[in-house]
Amino acid sequence: MSDLKKPVRNIADVPLRAQAKGSKFQSQFGSMTQMLGSRPMGASLTVVEPGKTAFPLHNHHVTAEMFYIIEGEGSYRVGEETYPVKAGDVIASPPGGRETAHQISNTGASTLKYLGFSANSGETDVVEYPDSDKFAVSSRFDWATGKSGIRFVGRTETSLDYWDGEDIGEDE
């Protein structure tokens, strides 16, 4: 078996990449899915410094997620509620509408580190972002590399007509 897909890995060996936007969103993120060969189940490691958040508030239409807090403390925002989280906590995030929108932030004084598991591994999903009123659609998109497949982020008011650009064989 190649070292790339060893079924046993240590989180210390997960290659992390920095991602940041503005002063609020900053984290280190590493996908473990490919290195473990765990498709269609996804696995990731996220590291967030104090006062920062890794991802915008979002809800998945298809993908169920679960998170395990390894170290640190923070808050878990889901729908209209916010819950404190700390090392050892397990968080369920089922697919659904905006009432299932979720976000983990580091509200503590030290690094927050958590594992994320997804039941769909990004094969096909629709994701809504309630705070910015946008959505994303993806299919066969490789989140580890940001390549291949389809990924579109937009707003519903910019939607095209179903027949837009099609040769319908006559003038309207």
Each residue of 113-128: pLDDT tens digit? 999 999 875 578 999 9
For the cut 60, the answer to whether the pLDDT of residue 54 exceeds it is: yes
Q: Beta strand pairing status for 25-31 and 102-105? A: unpaired
Q: Show the domains of the chain with their CATH numbers.
A: 16-121 (2.60.120.10)
What average pLDDT does this structure show over 28-43?
85
Is the peptide bond between 56 and the residue preceding it cis, with omega within 30 degrees of 0?
no
For the cut 90, the answer to whether the pLDDT of residue 40 exceeds it is: no
> Mean pLDDT in the chain?
90
- Give the global pTM: 0.87
Q: How far apart are CA 36 and CA 63, in angstroms?
A: 19
For the cut 90, the answer to whether the pLDDT of residue 45 exceeds it is: yes
Nearest CA to 104 out of 39, 45, 17 is that of 45
Question: What percentage of the chain carries pLDDT values higher than 90?
Answer: 67
